[in-house]
């Protein structure tokens, strides 16, 4: 609203051209609308449980003890973050495992990072999307908030595979398309071709912490 008042003032005063001012007003309004439409998360309290669900990137392959991303995220946030990562898992296997994990831990929020093994094994993107869709719906049906983290295609310059964004838009999820892809392009943050080292996992945790904070889950 303050931006709109400022631009309107410029229009009235003639300080800038009318066309430019109206263009600025349009852009400001679009940004404000986009911010209003951005998915929100319910603020978590100290008793709430977060499940970090996924494969080896969640389990922390390549990290030293206590330095997986869920461990670092727990320290940053002060929340209980359960590391529910299984190395080598596909989305089909994850879909079968998720109900038991939810039943055991009764989380308020699920961070879903899975699909990398499917992509490496050239599984059908349509089937991977279907498996992830079922996982997301399973959590949402139980009142669990979901944050989706995208995994890149087998392309050095790609962001996350396109079905991740499609799922985020379908379910109106908080979503990050670039965190994993960006770290994958940084050899100094990796322990091998597909896993991170302690520094990489710390940056991963910081990125997810900021995502949760920006969308209201953490004050």
Along the chain (219 residues), what's the average pLDDT of each consecutive run of 10 residues?
39 44 42 54 97 98 98 98 98 98 98 98 97 98 98 87 98 98 96 97 98 97
CB distance 206 to 214 below 8 Å: no
Q: What pLDDT score was predicted for residue 16?
A: 43
Q: Which residue in 152, 183, 148 sits closest to 169, CA to CA?
A: 148
Q: What pLDDT score was predicted for residue 76?
A: 98
Q: What pLDDT score was predicted for residue 157?
A: 77
The order of strands in the sheet holding 174-176 is 80-85, 49-54, 109-113, 145-149, 174-176
pTM of the model: 0.83
Q: What pLDDT score was predicted for residue 170?
A: 98
Q: What pLDDT score was predicted for residue 15?
A: 43
């Amino acid at each position: 609203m303050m931006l709109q008042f400022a631009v309107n003032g410029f229009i009235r005063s003639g300080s800038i051209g009318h066309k430019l001012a109206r263009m600025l007003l349009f852009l400001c309004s679009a940004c404000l609308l986009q911010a209003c439409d951005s998915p929100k998360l319910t603020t978590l309290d100290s008793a709430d449980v977060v499940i970090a669900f996924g494969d080896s990137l969640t389990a922390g392959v390549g990290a030293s003890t206590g330095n997986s991303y869920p461990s670092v995220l727990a320290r940053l946030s002060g929340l209980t973050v359960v590391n529910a990562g299984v190395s080598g898992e596909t989305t089909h296997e994850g879909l079968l495992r998720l109900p038991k994990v939810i039943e055991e831990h009764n989380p308020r929020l699920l961070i879903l990072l899975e699909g990398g093994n499917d992509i490496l094994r050239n599984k059908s993107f349509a089937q991977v999307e279907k498996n992830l869709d079922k996982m997301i719906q399973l959590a949402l049906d139980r009142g669990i908030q979901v944050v989706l983290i995208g995994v890149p295609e087998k392309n050095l310059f790609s962001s996350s595979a396109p079905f991740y964004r499609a799922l985020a838009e379908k379910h109106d999820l908080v979503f990050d398309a670039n965190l994993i892809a960006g770290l994958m392009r940084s050899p100094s943050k990796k322990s091998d071709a597909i896993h991170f080292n302690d520094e990489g996992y710390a940056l991963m945790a910081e990125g997810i912490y900021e995502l949760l904070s920006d969308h209201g889950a953490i004050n």
